[in-house]
Chain A
Amino acid sequence: MTHEEVHKRLTAVFRDVFDDPSLGISDSTTADDIDDWDSVNHITLIAAVETEFRISLSTREVKNLGNVGDFMKLIESKAR
């Protein structure tokens, strides 16, 4: 899966979870940049990503995510 493809599908997941069709994400996006990105929505996002990319993430992997760039790298490594 290419980086662009992951970015496109992840953006769609973000837009769906945060209910914002115009939401854009980049590697440097963090929870501080999106109003509704709290601990509740964070796990909703994780679950949605797992379903979308058919992967399974552990608490440790989720804990070590710093920004969307980390998230994309993790998805790419898992979704091969």
Chain B
Amino acid sequence: MSFLSIVFAAFLAAGLLVYHNAPQQRRPAILLALSFLFYATWSVWDAALLLAVTAGVYGAARLLDQTPTESRKLRLLTAAIAILLVLLVGFKCARLLATHLAAAWVEGNANVALWLAAPLGLSYYIFKLLGYLLDVYWGTLPARRDFTSVALYAAFFPQIVSGPIQRAEDFFTQLDAQRGSDPDSFVLGLRRILFGLFKKVAIADQLAVAVASTHGHPLEHSSLELLLGAYCFSLQMYADFSGITDIAIGIGLLFGIRGPENFNRPYFAANLQEFWRRWHMSLTSWLTDYLFVPLRMTFRHLGNTGLALAIFINMVAVGIWHGPRWTYAVFGCMNGVFMIVSALTLKKRNQWFKTRPAMARWRAWVAPLVTFHLVVLTHIFFQAPDLHSALNYLGQMLHLVPHGAVAAARVDLASFGLTYGRLFQALAGLVLMETIHWAMSRRDWTHGFKRRGLRWAVYYAVIVMVMLSARGTTSFIYAKF
């Protein structure tokens, strides 16, 4: 059941009716039942696995809380983490293996690959449960006594398809607060869902046409067109991923749970460290707390070498979190190397610019542009199906590879499925999206939005753009992780 289907809309409406008419103390159980119902529509077996994993983690956390000695605690934690990681890596690699098997030996039987495909949202719920276990081990959170809340935390249906990865403490605090049915939260939720739909349909899906053409048939395009295609993919992924995050946060708000933000206008970041603090924030802050900080602690007396090691391992983890593919590993390595260079030179660069105010003014404009281009470069690897395709794309884009008959500087919009109208619409959508993001980042934004005229002007603009753009449903990029 996809978020962008009529069946889901009906499920959501019925779920909300049942949930908000139920007594307060029954609501977590109802939300849990809805979550499992939603998840079971993808696969009953995957739902059974989710339930089993959650039960295991619930028990392990209780045991951790009751174990008196440090060495036993550590053994228990290590065993629990190992099992969760084996499940995560095992399923992700089984899919890869099965695809090869299906291609080589079981020709024509794609069911083998499907059967062994990683369960939907596995990366998201395993990370949530790993974080919960570590919180209990570090003593920052007590183990929960009631199973329902832990199961709901893992299975919470708005977040299971593609995050955001909410922290256990944040989720349980909101659950325990037992907020009633809050109209403000409901309005905010609907607003976020509309904004998410707008990003997906009016921006991401428009750019997707160009990306499919440039990345699918790079030989038929000029260098300049491939560069435009690379920009289009980075912008498409931003609109697509922040769109599904908005929908997830919005649906969560309808049930009184506010999920964490995932994006903070990342393409305005002045360096790569800042970019990663503003892009897929719920994953990067998770990795910062549960991987980077422990690694930094381990290597803390190695000076800059320790810092570089921690950054590199962390960024490779960001890459391969997306799946066992060389392109994701290279994506992580590139980010690691860029970030190490940036982190180790930042202090020196800041000092250099401090004594040159005129240059510093230019830096404010140039730095985000440089950062954006580094990100676009890494996304070429992220998007490509394999390393060969990525290198081929890059070679042709930079005009390093012989290019056939197409002139390097040709820009023929029709050749990659775009029209000026569609391009203009996507760009206008991007400007409107970033303006709304900017307004939301200001503390007083709700005051401005209280002006009814402005509010409804934005609603209408967004709805009209969604209706003009809708061309059937497509899947979200981040729903496959």
Contact = CB atoms under 8 A, between A and B. Distances in A.
A40 B295 CA distance: 11
Main secondary structure of the interface of B (DSSP, over half): helix
Contact of B307 (A38, A40, A58): A40
B307 A59 contact: no
Given A19-B347, A47-B300, A59-B297, A39 B292 contact: yes
Contacts of B294: 59
A77 to B, nearest CB: 16
Interface size class of B (residues with CB under 8 A): 10 to 19
Contact of A64 (B138, B277, B296): B138
Interface in B269-302: 273, 277, 288-289, 292-294, 296-297, 300-301
Contact of A39 (B140, B288, B300): B288
A40 B347 contact: no
B56 interface: no
A64 B140 CA distance: 6
A62 B139 contact: no
Given A59-B138, A63-B140, A64-B140, A46 B307 contact: no
B4 interface: no
Contacts of B273: 38, 40
A19 B300 CA distance: 19
A40 B343 contact: yes
A19 to B, nearest CB: 7
Interface residues of A, number: 16
Interface string A34-57: 000011101110110010000000
B293 A59 contact: yes
Interface of A is mostly: helix
A47 B138 contact: no
Contacts of B347: 19
A60 B307 contact: no
Interface string B166-185: 00000000000000000000
Nearest to A46: B300
A31 to B, nearest CB: 12
A60 B138 contact: yes
Contact of A62 (B137, B292, B297, B301): B297
5 contacts: A39-B293, A43-B293, A59-B138, A60-B137, A64-B140
Task: Enumerate the 6 nearest inter-chain pairs by beta-carbon distance, A residue then B residue, closest first.
Answer: A43-B296, A47-B300, A63-B138, A60-B138, A39-B288, A59-B297
Given A40-B273, A44-B307, A46-B297, 20 more contacts: A38-B273, A39-B288, A39-B289, A42-B293, A43-B293, A44-B300, A47-B300, A47-B301, A50-B301, A58-B297, A59-B293, A60-B137, A60-B138, A60-B139, A62-B297, A63-B138, A63-B139, A63-B140, A64-B138, A64-B140
